[in-house]
Amino acid sequence: MEIECGSFVWDLEKELNNIRKHKVDFTPACNAFKDSRRKIYIDSNHSKEEERLYCIGKVGDRVFNS
């Protein structure tokens, strides 16, 4: 099953693993891209087939690296 947040799409099983490992679900993490002070970098280490981005941004009082 796939989940969407804006233009972001991810696998539900991957999200569940992330919750178990990091205690963070992907929906608030994807909102880090909406932070006006966010920093976005190209993440070339994770995929050669598609462009992937690495973002550091604030959601509420938490800082996420997505």
Supply the Cα-derived Rg of the chain in whole angstroms: 12
Looking at residue 25, its pLDDT comes to 82
Distance CA 56, CA 58 (A): 7
**pTM of model > 0.85:** no
Residues pairing with 54 in the sheet: 41
Distance CA 13, CA 3 (A): 10
Looking at residue 4, its pLDDT comes to 66
Looking at residue 5, its pLDDT comes to 67
Looking at residue 1, its pLDDT comes to 66
The Cβ of residue 57 has, within 10 Å, a number of other Cβ atoms equal to 21
Looking at residue 49, its pLDDT comes to 77
Looking at residue 65, its pLDDT comes to 82
The one-character DSSP state at 2 is E
Task: Report residues of the chain scoring pLDDT below 70.
Answer: 1-6
